[in-house]
Structure 1
Amino acid sequence: MVDEIFDVVQIGYGPVGQVNAALLGQKGHRVAVFERHPSLYALPRAGHFDHEIMRIFQALGCAEDIENDAFPATKYQWRNAKNEILITFDWDQVGVSGWMSDYLMYQPHTENALHRAVQALPTIVVNHGWEAVNIEQHADYVTVTFEKVDRGSVDTGLSDLAKERRVVKGRYLVGADGANSFVRRHLQMPWVDLGFNESWVVLDFKQKRPLHFEFDNGQICDPKRPLCLFQLGKSHRRFEYMVMPGEAHDQLLSEENAWKVIEPWMTQDDADLIRQVIYTFRSGLAEKWSVGRAFLIGDAAHLMPPFLGQGMCSGIRDAMNLAWKLDLVLTGKSNVALLDTYQPERSPHVKEIIDLAIKVGKISCIVDPDEADLRDKAFRDGDVPPPPPFPVLTPCVTDRQHFKHSLVGRLGPQGRVEVNGITKRSDDLFGTGWQLICDFDACNTLSEQSLEILKRWSVQIIHPVLRSQAANNSVAVVDIDGSYQQFFKHHEVKAVLVRPDFYIFDGIEKEDDLNVLVKRFGSLIQFS
């Protein structure tokens, strides 16, 4: 590999790295992936993803595979010691992305599905059992040195010179290598501790038979022992409980103690204990997400406590944001300055999610009985405001002085459509690049210049109509559930231009503004 230059060298192959590699591989880019573990990680870590992430899985062609085991949860509740409901997150609706709002998963199943999607792409090479030991940046490429990880013994007795090594070159380097990121440390990218550090015991179980509890998924905010429980897909479950002051870790990690804690719900006749570990929930954010040609994604760039289930989701959003920009730069369609928008878009977005996760996490982690009573009273009396809406992306790939609509930075819609008698989710018929979704026939409005811009950037023009409006038009895009019509009406918008990462570039309220929108898009996306 010494003389070979890949488009991207990637360190790390968890779900965030898998998504990043697959997105780049779909575009034909040559990606060399290196992972220090000898194989896919066989135990669960993350347990949740939402409709936006499922749409990304759909883009990779593995959504149905993942859906086979993922559990579409309907509610996630926070209750106190008296079983009174403090907070309810409603997950029982279809999200704007065209999938159920939220899913609970068994991570190894999800990773296996993603790995199969990666394996189907011929330009990606995945190397397990290799650890990065050095990075050198050059004017137009990055060199990374890897050593073969010897799992046979603690000390091989080999000198550094005797260990098997590979030197790999890439036009860009992506660090998807987790919380203890080698890329971040080696390139001295500063890290800010955001102040949340709490240790919890994590217990994972494989069910021996289908189980259902009156309270299946949520937090029990009991000052005597804060605890949470939730399903991991359709065949596994997780319990987590807080390490209380003065408790001995070895006692907490005894199997006897594990079964004692979950005795109200399960016994050894119901499930097998497959994992028992103490994990410290932390929060932090990298000050710099890139240095030269090296970029961070996922836990390498940010950490958050798990109380919103958004850690992995945020990392996959990083990958989606970075991949479409790398694609345009690697193919020469956009200037390298486009990559400078990556951190300014992603960092503020994830910081809001971290802050919210810390805020709700502190509600659960109250161990003082008097403080817990005051908390419960505040909820009963309605003195606690509802959780804020999910953060909106603040786009940098746009002209901030000409924002036309409040939808900018929100997720674009995907509904079920029918074309030529075939019914699918829209992306499965029109792809996942740029989409111009209109509530009118844009072809009657677009100028020749606008059509040329849209053609150059492979923008799909989608005009969904109700079946009654389609008449006998065989090529009409029928809005099966009326979801697009509801979207247009609710947001008072006539058209939206949606980016490859599904976020809205801009929207218009009048048909006459369509050519202005397209012209502005054409001038901005080159980022020159």
Structure 2
Amino acid sequence: MVCDKQQADMEVDVIISGCGPVGALTCNLLGSLGVRTLVLEQDLAPHGQPRAFSCDDEALRIYQSTGLGAELQKDMRENRFAEYVGETGKRFAEVHTGSADFGFGYSPLWFFHQPKVEGVLREGMGRFPHVKLQVGASVESLEQDAAGVTVRYQLLQTGETRTVRGRYLLACDGARSGVRKALGIKMSGRAYGEPWLAVSGSVEGDAPELCRFVCDPKRPAFVATGAVGQFRWEFMLMPGETREEMERPETIKKLLAPYIDPERVHVERAQVYTFHCLNAARWRDGNVFLLGDAAHTMPPFMGQGLVSGMRDASNLAWKIQRVVRGLAPASLLDTYEEERRPHVEAVQKLCVRVGHLFLARNRWVAGARDMVMRALQRIPRVRRFIQGFEFKQPPMHERGYYLGGGHAPESAEGTYFIQPKVRLQSGKEVLLDDAIGNDFAVLCRANAPSAQVAAARGLAEALGARLLAVQSSGADGSDVPAVEDITGKLGDWFSRHDSDVVVLRPDRFVFGAVKAERLPELRDALGV
């Protein structure tokens, strides 16, 4: 196939292969940034299966950035407590997720019903006239040159073949990505040999609210109350058990019986799966990028699989927009994998470690684990570390598109900025991101000398960013748009990092935080 845009039936900025949660989210992010996007989805309708189950505070903040956060959150359930129990059912660890606060605007564990999430995301795509979803479209081939990518696809209902030309192709087509295979990109890592049975469904009548990791060497399991009346049960298969045997209704009833009357359960999905911990050899090939499971797969023990794909989308969408609009060089896109891969690998390692805790198969090892964990939690700092969910991998980039090239010890660059509530000049209280929009933002102190405020205003104008002054509660008005720091957390952040001005990227990572005299250095690093 010749890469000649004149031959294409359609020309866009971005082609997305796959309209699962990551593809649909990516489309909404690009749509909100004005990027012309075509999504190719092979299935004629959403699959309707409740596969992914949980997300975190970062995910809700990303949903918020699409303008769909409130709509999505209303059908989610906030989890406030999780427990780990041993063979006897006695608890040996607990996590107080409801009181954990990492500063990003939401608590860190939420359960959702995937069909509802996908429905809202697909409906949200309709807000943008420059976005199109083509269902029943099977990607047949792709070819790229320096200027872009040509994709040939077939409409499954009619057999018609079409071509589309785009600057970039984003593969959001899952762990068995056809795009990745077409590029010859290999996956490496470990495929864990322990299959699991995942059962999803609803329960008639009252049901307990719980989130329990059953660390029983005879049958490790996970039980949780989900969103919109849903439940999730997961059971590890033992040696000799087969998929066919485990997916039978009578087997499922026996497995559910210790936890709930199986006659009250309406099973919507019961499927055996084997989890993997894999990474693609590279996440970019010319003008093609891999996102989500197409780039990496995650063990399930921290609920980070879908969230990792969402972080990919949030990292890449704004970079593509700036390159497409001529606001940044194409080399900016090289920072996608540079920033995201180390974090993904760190989360994968954490998931494996938690899995080892969860999956002890020897009865004596499991008993020793329970005793050690209880003993360790008599130490106050260890207890706070576990109960406060502090073992969760923080969002941070060691290298990338930042002042100084990345995060250094004690520096703000490369960290995820906080999102406290603020009061607008109208008197309305909102989360910070709702006050600064979805592009770059420049924050400064409201009580700064006029020359500093003028310099910050000049930086914001050159960058095309929103300028906001952070005003302490009860302080006098500001000469620039301001938000009132009603919690005091923004003022504390500025003081802790000894900064007068902070530049936030559209994904809300800190590009740079400096004293006023270093503003020229900050402008140089931004290229404005």
After TM superposition, the score normalised by the length of structure 2 is: 0.90
**How far is the alpha carbon of 1:136 from its aligned partner?**
0.6
> More deviation in 459-468 or 163-172?
459-468
**How far is the alpha carbon of 1:148 from its aligned partner?**
2.7
User: Does residue 249 in structure 1 map to residue 243 in structure 2?
Assistant: yes
> More deviation in 128-137 or 466-475?
466-475
| Pair 1:263–1:37, CA change in 2 (3 A) | same
**C-alpha distance after superposition, 1:164-207 (max 9, x if no partner):** 22211111100000000111111011211235343100000123
**Contact 1:450–1:515, Cα closer than 8 Å, also in 2:** no
**How far is the alpha carbon of 1:267 from its aligned partner?**
2.3
> More deviation in 429-438 or 228-237?
429-438
Residues 278-293 of structure 1 mapped to structure 2, 5 A cutoff: 278-293=272-287
**Contact 1:416–1:426, Cα closer than 8 Å, also in 2:** yes
**Contact 1:198–1:282, Cα closer than 8 Å, also in 2:** no
**Contact 1:450–1:519, Cα closer than 8 Å, also in 2:** no
Q: Distance in 2 between matches of 1:20 and 1:40?
A: 16
Query: What residue number does 1:498 align with?
Result: 504
Give the 3-state SS of the residue equivalent to 1:166 in structure 2.
Answer: strand
User: Does residue 398 in structure 1 map to residue 394 in structure 2?
Assistant: no
Aligned AA (1:91)? T
Q: Distance in 2 between matches of 1:479 and 1:309?
A: 33
User: Does residue 134 in structure 1 map to residue 141 in structure 2?
Assistant: yes
> More deviation in 402-411 or 57-66?
402-411
User: Does residue 417 in structure 1 map to residue 422 in structure 2?
Assistant: yes
**Contact 1:435–1:459, Cα closer than 8 Å, also in 2:** yes
Residues 213-224 of structure 1 mapped to structure 2, 5 A cutoff: 213=209, 216-224=210-218
Aligned AA (1:41)? H
Give the 3-state SS of the residue equivalent to 1:224 in structure 2.
Answer: coil
Q: Distance in 1 between matches of 2:307 and 2:15?
A: 22
Which of 500, 514, 517 aligns to 2:516? It is 514
Q: Distance in 1 between matches of 2:480 and 2:12?
A: 45
Query: What residue number does 1:75 align with?
Result: 81
Which of 26, 30, 35 aligns to 2:32? It is 26
Aligned AA (1:189)? I
User: Does residue 50 in structure 1 map to residue 56 in structure 2?
Assistant: yes
**C-alpha distance after superposition, 1:35-92 (max 9, x if no partner):** 1111122111111111111111111111111111101111222221223333433321
Which of 291, 302, 326 aligns to 1:297? It is 291
Count of residues in Structure 1 that have an aligned counterpart in Structure 2: 509
| Pair 1:455–1:395, CA change in 2 (3 A) | farther
> More deviation in 203-212 or 273-282?
203-212
Which of 175, 179, 183 aligns to 1:179? It is 175
**How far is the alpha carbon of 1:3 from its aligned partner?**
4.3
5+ residue gaps, structure 2, are: 1-6
Q: Distance in 1 between matches of 2:496 and 2:517?
A: 23
> More deviation in 360-369 or 261-270?
261-270
User: Does residue 169 in structure 1 map to residue 165 in structure 2?
Assistant: yes
Query: What residue number does 2:3 align with?
Result: none
User: Does residue 234 in structure 1 map to residue 236 in structure 2?
Assistant: no
**Contact 2:33–2:318, Cα closer than 8 Å, also in 1:** no
Q: Distance in 1 between matches of 2:479 and 2:516?
A: 24
Which of 116, 123, 132 aligns to 1:125? It is 132
Give the 3-state SS of the residue equivalent to 1:83 in structure 2.
Answer: coil
Q: Distance in 2 between matches of 1:447 and 1:382?
A: 51
Query: What residue number does 1:524 align with?
Result: 525
Q: Distance in 2 between matches of 1:521 and 1:329?
A: 20
Which of 151, 156, 160 aligns to 1:149? It is 156
**Contact 2:399–2:407, Cα closer than 8 Å, also in 1:** no
Aligned AA (1:29)? V
Give the 3-state SS of the residue equivalent to 1:9 in structure 2.
Answer: strand
**How far is the alpha carbon of 1:433 from its aligned partner?**
1.7
Aligned AA (1:106)? H
Residues 71-470 of structure 1 mapped to structure 2, 5 A cutoff: 71-93=77-99, 94-149=101-156, 163-213=159-209, 216-382=210-376, 388-391=391-394, 392-400=396-404, 405-419=410-424, 420-442=426-448, 444-446=450-452, 451-470=457-476
Aligned AA (1:455)? E
| Pair 1:174–1:476, CA change in 2 (3 A) | closer
**How far is the alpha carbon of 1:351 from its aligned partner?**
0.5
**C-alpha distance after superposition, 1:378-415 (max 9, x if no partner):** 32332999664524222411243796752222211222
| Pair 1:128–1:234, CA change in 2 (3 A) | same
| Pair 1:148–1:197, CA change in 2 (3 A) | farther
Q: Distance in 1 between matches of 2:444 and 2:453?
A: 15
Give me the CA root mean square deviation. Answer: 2.5
Query: What residue number does 1:154 align with?
Result: none
> More deviation in 132-141 or 475-484?
475-484
**How far is the alpha carbon of 1:338 from its aligned partner?**
0.6
**How far is the alpha carbon of 1:473 from its aligned partner?**
9.6
**How far is the alpha carbon of 1:252 from its aligned partner?**
1.0
Q: Distance in 2 between matches of 1:98 and 1:120?
A: 25
**How far is the alpha carbon of 1:443 from its aligned partner?**
6.4
Q: Distance in 1 between matches of 2:501 and 2:88?
A: 49
Q: Distance in 2 between matches of 1:362 and 1:402?
A: 32
Q: Distance in 2 between matches of 1:441 and 1:194?
A: 54
Q: Distance in 1 between matches of 2:156 and 2:434?
A: 40
| Pair 1:124–1:474, CA change in 2 (3 A) | closer
Q: Distance in 2 between matches of 1:5 and 1:526?
A: 30
**Contact 2:339–2:397, Cα closer than 8 Å, also in 1:** yes
Identity, in percent, stands at: 28
Q: Distance in 1 between matches of 2:510 and 2:241?
A: 49
**How far is the alpha carbon of 1:297 from its aligned partner?**
0.4
Q: Distance in 1 between matches of 2:366 and 2:29?
A: 46
Q: Distance in 2 between matches of 1:304 and 1:401?
A: 28
**How far is the alpha carbon of 1:344 from its aligned partner?**
0.7
Q: Distance in 1 between matches of 2:261 and 2:43?
A: 33
Aligned AA (2:120)? A
5+ residue gaps, structure 1, are: 151-161
Q: Distance in 2 between matches of 1:449 and 1:64?
A: 36
Q: Distance in 1 between matches of 2:133 and 2:406?
A: 43
Q: Distance in 1 between matches of 2:520 and 2:478?
A: 34
Aligned AA (1:165)? T
**How far is the alpha carbon of 1:442 from its aligned partner?**
4.7
Q: Distance in 2 between matches of 1:402 and 1:345?
A: 9
| Pair 1:474–1:132, CA change in 2 (3 A) | closer
| Pair 1:504–1:381, CA change in 2 (3 A) | same
